[in-house]
Amino acid sequence: MKFLFSISGIGLGHTIRQKAIIDELKRREEDSEIVVFGYKNSYNYFKKRFKTYDILGHSFSGNKCETSSFNIIIDNFFYIFIFFIDFFNVFFRMLFIRPNLVIVDGDPVVVLASKLAFRKIVYVYNYDLNEVKFVKRKIHAQRGFFWVVLKLVYKLSSKVIIPVLTQEKRVEGKINYVSQIIREKEKELKLKKKPILISTGGSDFGVDFVDHILEVADEFNEDFIVFGLDRKDKKNVKFFKFSEDFLDYLKLSKGLICLAGHNTLSEALFFKKAILVFYIKGLIEHEQNINLVKDYVMVGDNCGDFKEILKNYLNNIKLLENKVKKLDLKGDGAKQAVDIILSLK
């Protein structure tokens, strides 16, 4: 059976989530063939593993504190042209590839192309339409755009999979809310001292808040490990541009400092880690995720005093860890997602 995966390349969350699903799928369907459409991070990751085609995709940008619907529109001003380029690229390649099933994580253009090519579609996304009501009025235009697009995408898809953070698992028609999608750990590590992990989430958004933390990191008696930056190690900070061992370090860590990306939060909550999370104000996914986890994490101010924020976090690590321990998370969302995918064979 041939499976075509289309994976958003914004950040690393979509890529890592689909890696977990593909690994589970390959375990259960050993003879299956995997083909990938990707861009940026997803293309660079999967091109070494499967037959992977590059598409253009869309963009997001922001400053250290916030973004806006206006900035997103400007970033994607020419996206109407990119949309049609990607559409025809995907559509004609799909006629040649002839997949039995298409799994899309993030990009509506592939859903439309797949529908017109008469393919069954499973759409994976972490935007919960039931949570849209909390979103602040100042980003109502962005909220409305996502609402219209996702309602259309959900309608065109055969099945929809939404991995939860703290919501209840449930089924609402074709929409399936599954457990957190967690990768398998690769190996056991031995560290002399439990570190504090810092994750940029694989996007440009994360670089600014990490730089602020690194400016004051040497004032604390802690070891910090940064994932997502290619820099020279210094006093008490070690850098990894990207590492498959992130979960191994996470399990042994004292806590995690990160952006409000869905996948990073899912993994940290599952491993019961004390979390200091920053988010881009005005970015609808971050606003949703913060609303879902705010009772279990410490939320940092992107424009605040980072020395005081870090000090406060380190002084309250045990309290934050105890909050997270109240959550009963299964982390078997990849298995549930593959069950859904294979139900369409």
Mean pLDDT of the chain: 88
Residue 83's Cβ-side half-sphere holds a number of Cα atoms within 13 Å equal to: 10
Q: Is there a single domain that holds both residue 165 and residue 299?
A: no
> What does the pLDDT look like over 65-113, one tens digit per residue?
555 555 656 556 677 888 899 999 999 999 999 999 999 998 899 999 9
Q: Is there a single domain that holds both residue 12 and residue 95?
A: yes
For residue 317, pLDDT beyond 70: yes
pLDDT at residue 192 in the model: 82
202 is a domain residue: yes
Q: What is the mean pLDDT of residues 126-137?
A: 67
pLDDT at residue 153 in the model: 93
pLDDT at residue 88 in the model: 95
Q: Is there a single domain that holds both residue 114 and residue 203?
A: no
146 is a domain residue: yes
- For residue 133, the enclosing domain spans 2-180+332-342
Q: Is there a single domain that holds both residue 22 and residue 118?
A: yes
With beta carbons less than 8 A apart as the criterion, state whether 55 and 87 touch.
no
CATH of the domain at 250: 3.40.50.2000
Q: Is there a single domain that holds both residue 18 and residue 49?
A: yes
DSSP H helical ranges for the chain:
13-28, 41-46, 69-75, 79-97, 108-116, 140-156, 205-216, 246-252, 262-270, 284-293, 306-315, 317-324, 333-342
For residue 285, pLDDT beyond 90: no
Residue 333 CA to residue 183 CA, distance in Å, equals 10
The least confident of 108-112, 199-203, 211-215 is 199-203
> What does the pLDDT look like over 7-61, one tens digit per residue?
999 888 899 999 999 999 999 999 999 999 999 999 999 999 999 999 998 766 5
Q: Is there a single domain that holds both residue 114 and residue 260?
A: no
Total number of residues shown for the chain? 345
Q: What is the mean pLDDT of residues 247-266?
A: 94
Q: Is there a single domain that holds both residue 115 and residue 166?
A: yes
Q: Is there a single domain that holds both residue 282 and residue 304?
A: yes
Q: Is there a single domain that holds both residue 165 and residue 309?
A: no
Q: Is there a single domain that holds both residue 20 and residue 49?
A: yes
The least confident of 4-8, 79-83, 188-192 is 188-192
Q: Domain count for the chain, please give it.
A: 2
Q: Is there a single domain that holds both residue 266 and residue 134?
A: no
pTM: 0.91
191 is a domain residue: no
Q: Is there a single domain that holds both residue 338 and residue 292?
A: no
Distance separating the N- and C-terminal Cα atoms of the chain: 9
pLDDT at residue 139 in the model: 54
